[in-house]
């Protein structure tokens, strides 16, 4: 009886671990899509709307993603309160936020370092620079989406096989 309960617990635990890893993969894709939409909006607001970066940050407080919305709200509040440089606030806020998210270091660096790309005087140069970052993240999103199905199958298989191996080994 106890062995059967132990076997079920081991298999359920390994299956749960596998589902957690699959959720991380899907969260990564969701974050990449959101970052691409944000970059697309920033590029459009700079290129066509001729808005400044602080105005764009204020506009982005109304974005659909709640976690990013909170980041933009904190950036706007902190820049209004302390008068600190917006690029430094952006970098600090998004480095701290994205460090906790399941995205890769180079993707995190591209998004957190976005204000460094705004060194051009004219809007077209700024929009083009942001477009490069957007293209990089879009490519990563497509790669992640293409690999997601295969990785999901692989993770699920490995987690079940690990559970079976542990069960055999512990019996």
User: Over the stretch 30-42, which tens digit does the pLDDT of each residue have?
Assistant: 999 999 998 898 8
Name the domain count of the chain: 1
Rg (CA), the chain: 21
pLDDT digits (tens, 9 = 90+) for 72-125: 888 888 877 776 677 788 888 888 888 888 888 898 888 888 877 666 566 677
Confidence (pLDDT) at 141: 93
What size, in residues, is the chain? 171
Q: Inform me whether the pLDDT recorded for 171 exceeds 70.
A: yes
Q: Inform me whether the pLDDT recorded for 158 exceeds 90.
A: yes
Confidence (pLDDT) at 120: 56
Yes or no: say if 119 and 18 are a contact pair by the CB < 8 Å rule: no
How many whole angstroms separate alpha carbon 127 and alpha carbon 131?
6
Yes or no: say if 115 and 86 are a contact pair by the CB < 8 Å rule: yes
Domain membership of residue 150 as a residue range: 2-170
């Amino acid at each position: 009886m106890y062995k059967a309960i132990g076997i079920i617990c081991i298999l359920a635990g390994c299956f749960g671990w596998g589902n957690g890893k699959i959720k991380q993969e899907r969260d990564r894709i969701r974050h990449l899509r959101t970052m691409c939409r944000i970059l697309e909006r920033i590029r459009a607001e700079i290129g066509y709307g001729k808005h400044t970066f602080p105005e764009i940050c204020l506009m982005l407080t109304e974005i659909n993603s709640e976690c990013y919305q909170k980041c933009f709200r904190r950036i706007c509040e902190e820049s209004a309160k302390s008068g600190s440089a917006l690029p430094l606030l952006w970098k600090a806020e998004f480095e701290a936020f994205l460090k906790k998210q399941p995205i890769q270091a180079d993707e995190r660096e591209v998004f957190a370092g976005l204000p460094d790309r705004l060194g051009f005087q004219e809007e077209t140069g700024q929009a083009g620079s942001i477009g490069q970052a957007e293209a990089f993240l879009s490519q990563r999103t497509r790669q992640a989406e293409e690999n997601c199905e295969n990785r999901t199958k692989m993770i699920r298989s490995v987690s079940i096989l690990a559970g079976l191996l542990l069960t055999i080994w512990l019996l």
